[in-house]
A and B are shown apart, each in its own frame.
Chain A
Amino acid sequence: KQEVTQIPAALSVPEGENLVLNCSFTDSAIYNLQWFRQDPGKGLTSLLLIQSSQREQTSGRLNASLDKSSGRSTLYIAASQPGDSATYLCAVSPLQGGSEKLVFGKGTKLTVNP
């Protein structure tokens, strides 16, 4: 059974700092991995999608990497801003057991202090 773990559970940084969020998964048989942002009480906003054949994706100040063989992904946020404060979730789409399902980690709550 696929399990997704995110470390740390919470992170507080000063504005302007570069930071890395970690995601690990137990089964490397995945279609893709997706990073989401969630503001309190709101829906999920898709940030980046990495296909299993890709190593990284970039969007603005965000860079996500994928090492499928080791079951790890990182989300790098450059020059963090208070507006980046949110919970960040990673999710994998498993090859087996129903690829329609997204298996989520519990998220990392990020606070960027002005």
Chain B
Amino acid sequence: DTEVTQTPKHLVMGMTNKKSLKCEQHMGHRAMYWYKQKAKKPPELMFVYSYEKLSINESVPSRFSPECPNSSLLNLHLHALQPEDSALYLCASSQYPANTEAFFGQGTRLTVV
């Protein structure tokens, strides 16, 4: 099973709302990632968790807060977002943080109104 599951598939939220995106994998992968993708652009890395610890934060604004409760789960907590944060948010995982194949979920389409 090479599946990364993301929920919800679509999310519409107001600028004062708090919401969370969820990601789950059961491949025993020890690295998990959040990417942001705007229309007609390649994915941009946001965060990397290696062995359940945050290893990379690509200078992402604090209104995005990642969390890795265990080795299978990755959350992205959202608060006070701006309309320009509307994008496709992709979760990915790989067996190890480096030099292994990355598997992506189907993404959450986020719209901030």
A72: Cβ under 8 A from any B Cβ: no
Chain A residue at minimal CB-CB distance from B105: A43
The contact sample of 21 A-B pairs, CB cut-off 8 A, is: A31-B98, A31-B99, A32-B99, A42-B107, A43-B105, A43-B106, A44-B90, A46-B104, A49-B101, A51-B99, A91-B102, A93-B98, A93-B99, A99-B97, A100-B31, A102-B43, A102-B102, A104-B42, A104-B43, A106-B41, A107-B42
**Contact string against A for B residues 28-42, beta-carbon threshold 8 Å, 1 for contact and 0 otherwise:** 000101000000011
Interface size class of chain A, counting residues whose CB lies under 8 Å from the partner chain:
20 to 34
The SS class assigned to the A binding surface is strand
The SS class assigned to the B binding surface is strand
Interface residues of A in 7-53 (CB under 8 A from B): 31-32, 34, 36, 41-46, 49, 51
Selected contact of B45 from candidates A45, A99, A102, A105, CB within 8 Å: A102
Bound complex: CA A98 to CA B47 (Å) = 12
Give the residues in chain A near B31, CB-CB below 8 Å.
Answer: 100
Selected contact of A34 from candidates B45, B102, B109, CB within 8 Å: B102
Binding site for B on A (CB under 8 A): 31-32, 34, 36, 41-46, 49, 51, 89, 91, 93, 98-102, 104-107
Give the residues in chain B near A43, CB-CB below 8 Å.
Answer: 4, 6, 90, 104-107
Query: How far in angstroms is the closest Cβ of chain A from B8?
Result: 14
Known contacts A100-B50, A101-B45: A41-B88 contact under CB 8 Å: yes
Give the residues in chain B near A91, CB-CB below 8 Å.
Answer: 102
Query: How far in angstroms is the closest Cβ of chain A from B43?
Result: 6
**Does the CB pair A45–B104 fall under 8 Å?**
yes
B31, B90, B104, B109 interface centre (most CB from chain A within 10 Å):
B104
Give the residues in chain B near A104, CB-CB below 8 Å.
Answer: 42-43
Bound complex: CA A69 to CA B90 (Å) = 31
Bound complex: CA A39 to CA B52 (Å) = 30
**Does the CB pair A100–B98 fall under 8 Å?**
yes
Bound complex: CA A50 to CA B5 (Å) = 25
B62: Cβ under 8 A from any A Cβ: no
**Does the CB pair B42–A34 fall under 8 Å?**
no
Bound complex: CA A88 to CA B90 (Å) = 16
